[in-house]
Amino acid sequence: MAARGDLKQMSSQVLSLLEPELARDGFEILDVRVFQGGGRLQVRIYVDLYPDGGITLDACARAGRTVNMLMEEADIFAGQYVLEVSSPGIRRPLRLPRHFAAAVGRKVDLKLSAPSGRERLRGILVDFDGQRLRVRPPAPGRGDEDTAEAEIIAVELGRIQEANLDPEFDARALINADRRRKKQERRQKRQSRKKTKRSRPRADRLARNDRSSHDES
């Protein structure tokens, strides 16, 4: 099994091989990821149209044919491997500085290099200056639904091993926000019912007093 450093080097080799040719055809490589899976080497290449994005299935297939041809000629990998050419999907990969600049204000999922291996950071990308990202993770003990009170973490661009937009994080935040809204609505209804119950006895007394006045007259 290849070491993580070797896999990263393989990714760089594939990127260097494919990027010029695909760029001439109007494609952008968002990322190349090489990993072990199912007992074989997996090579996954994310492509999109440049500069506007919105790649179609036909365009993705066309990019795939170019990738297959170049990979066969270069023979980078010894042995069998599985090659996949994919559109970005909702978890759009982030690799270049302009990718991160475009993602400011969005939720991101980062895998970072660390002395003990890799660590993960998820949160809102609040700023990017070209060299450093500033990410606000969820507040401690609050889960994904609240990032407003969390301390911002600075991350050097060179530490990032993989990066994606994080729609799963966004979805959970929306779900949690909806739960908070419904909880607040239930609380308001309970308070409203309590107020109604307290006001009924007085209304009943007034009604009885009115009936008594009519009877006496």
Domains delineated in the chain: 4-86 (3.30.300.70), 97-168 (2.30.30.100)
How does pLDDT run along the chain (217 residues), one tens digit per residue?
A: 566 668 999 999 999 999 999 999 999 999 999 999 988 999 999 999 999 999 999 999 999 999 999 999 999 888 899 999 999 999 999 999 999 999 999 999 999 998 877 799 999 999 999 999 999 998 776 555 555 567 999 999 999 999 999 987 656 655 666 676 677 767 777 777 766 666 555 555 555 555 555 555 5
Tokens encoding 27:
């494609």
Tokens encoding 64:
């795939």
Residue count of the chain: 217
Q: Contacts by 32-39 with C-beta closer than 8 Å and gap 24+?
A: 33/93, 33/162, 34/7, 34/8, 34/10, 35/7, 36/1, 36/2, 36/7, 37/82, 38/82
pTM of full prediction above 0.75: no
Rounded distance between C-alpha atoms, residue 55 and residue 32, angstroms: 17
